[in-house]
A = this chain, B = another copy of it.
Amino acid sequence: MVSSKLSDYPESVTLVEVGPRDGLQNESRILPTADKVKLIELLTACGLKKIEIGSFVRADRIPPLADTDKVATLLPPNAMVYSALIPNARGLERAQEVGLSEVAIFMSVTESHNRSNINRSTGDALAGYQVLVKQALAEGLRVRAYLSTVFGCPYEGAVSPEQVRPLVSALLETGVYQVSLGDTIGIAHPLLIAEILEALLPEAPIEALALHLHDTRGTALANALMGLQMGIRVFDTAVGGLGGCPYAPGASGNLATEDLAYMLNAMGIETGIDLNKLVQASHFLEKSLGKKLSSKYSQTIPPQE
């Protein structure tokens, strides 16, 4: 039985803003560098504690993020807030060149998604990351990991806790401080969230786990509530609900930062986020992309002229 007691919930929650990376990489319109910088500045002003600004992959692999180096150098010196994806040693080098103090590695639970996404087996990916994370840590960076297809795979269907558990352990053993569990295709439901977390919690401390939820089928905020109830204190979100799902054209993207922030603020859970400023960032992004975003909260507030 649940209750209305705020004390049953985490006192504070950190939102990791992934809009400029996971959001924009799935948008067909490529944002000008200046607009990305402006967006990240607006997001920084909201009180977000971490913002993923891009990805240091090969420029031809993800064209919308080809200018991540440039974006990073144009940002005000506030490196504690910013991180970016790195697939390999070259990515780490680029992250260091622009002065980032945090990076993120990424792989999938399922072999077929891992191969399609990063062109390696999960075994090879892990072996590579063992070396890469060690190097990053030695150079004084913090490293986070994204694990995709935790709740289901577009190629292999259902995923079991037994598939997820060893990979989470292996990733934590590389030295990453946290594994973000990705509902890549937005197929999770609350009981599956609880089932996977129950399977992981005996081996991973709660602060080493985060949830990265997509709202493809509208369940992201309900899944986040279940995550909160299981003790999760870190959620990846994207301003405006930016992004889509390559496997479901036209579908919604990431859980919208402002929708989760609204719910947490309303519940009395500390986020440090200024909701009004966040909505302004969302409206700026809508204007820049030339399309209506899917956040419901932001639609209740008219854009400022």
Contacts and interface: CB of A to CB of B under 8 A. Distances in A.
A266 B218 CA distance: 13
A226 B2 contact: yes
Contacts of A215: 296
Interface string A214-226: 0111110110111
Given A256-B218, A300-B248, A267 B191 contact: yes
Given A295-B218, A296-B217, A229 B191 contact: no
A284 interface: no
B217 A262 contact: yes
A224 B222 contact: yes
B198 A3 contact: yes
A267 B1 CA distance: 17
Contacts of A190: 225, 263, 267
B194 A263 contact: no
Contacts of A224: 222
A222 B252 CA distance: 17
A3 B194 contact: yes
Contacts of A191: 4, 6, 9, 267-268
A289 interface: no
Nearest to A194: B4
Contacts of A266: 189, 192, 219
A299 interface: yes
Contacts of A250: 299
Interface residues of A, number: 44
B219 A259 contact: yes
A261 B297 CA distance: 22
A230 interface: yes
A219 B2 contact: no
B3 A259 contact: no
A98 B300 CA distance: 39
A126 interface: no
A195 B300 contact: no
Given A3-B194, A198-B4, A229-B2, A222 B263 contact: yes
Interface string A239-279: 00000010010111000100100110011100000000000
A191 B229 CA distance: 11
Contacts of A263: 189-190, 217-219, 222
A9 B222 CA distance: 15
14 contacts: A1-B8, A2-B230, A3-B198, A4-B192, A4-B194, A4-B195, A9-B191, A215-B296, A218-B295, A219-B263, A222-B222, A248-B299, A251-B300, A294-B296
